[in-house]
């Protein structure tokens, strides 16, 4: 079973941080900003990354700046739960064609304006 914490909820979709067995909370890594050296990636533990950075400075004393990255697993899934009540559905059905009609009208007017100015 996957335990999820909601990050963002849209109208129809929910973005969650994916958690559960086999899914690391974070994947940590670090890259030297002076050369191309990169640490291996470690799941759920920043300490090996910190040790790698210190060892890199010991080997290359002038290389002292790093970019540390944390990767996380996200998942977007359809919003579950009760379906919207009928009045909302009716409003969306009615507003949809009206909005498209308005956009067509505005597009037509925008096309006419430059011609009127010339």
Q: Which residues bind Zn ion (CB under 5 A)?
A: 32, 34-35, 37, 60, 63
Report the alpha-carbon distance of residue 118 to residue 113 in Å, rounded: 9
* 72 in Cβ contact with 26 (< 8 Å): yes
Q: CB 69 → Zn ion: shortest distance, Å?
A: 16
Nearer to Zn ion, 45 or 60 (CB): 60
Nearer to Zn ion, 63 or 75 (CB): 63
Place of tokens 């909820």: 9
Q: CB 70 → Zn ion: shortest distance, Å?
A: 20
Nearer to Zn ion, 16 or 32 (CB): 32
Nearer to Zn ion, 3 or 60 (CB): 60
| 3 to 6, 29, 38, 72, 81: CA distances (angstroms) | 10, 25, 32, 14, 17
What is the number of the residue whose Cβ is closest to Zn ion? 32
Q: CB 27 → Zn ion: shortest distance, Å?
A: 21
Reading the block at residue 47, the tokens are 């300490």
Report the alpha-carbon distance of residue 85 to residue 97 in Å, rounded: 20
Q: CB 52 → Zn ion: shortest distance, Å?
A: 11
């Amino acid at each position: 079973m996957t335990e999820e914490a909601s990050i963002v909820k849209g109208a129809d979709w929910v973005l969650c941080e994916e958690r559960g067995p086999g899914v690391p909370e974070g994947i940590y890594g670090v890259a030297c900003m002076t050369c191309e050296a990169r640490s291996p990636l470690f799941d759920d533990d920043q300490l090996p990354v910190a040790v790698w950075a210190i060892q890199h400075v010991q080997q290359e004393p002038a290389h002292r700046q790093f970019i540390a990255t944390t990767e996380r697993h996200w998942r977007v899934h359809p919003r579950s739960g009760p379906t919207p009540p009928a009045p909302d559905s009716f409003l969306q059905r009615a507003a949809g064609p009206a909005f498209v009609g308005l956009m067509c009208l505005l597009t037509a007017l925008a096309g006419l304006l430059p011609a009127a100015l010339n």
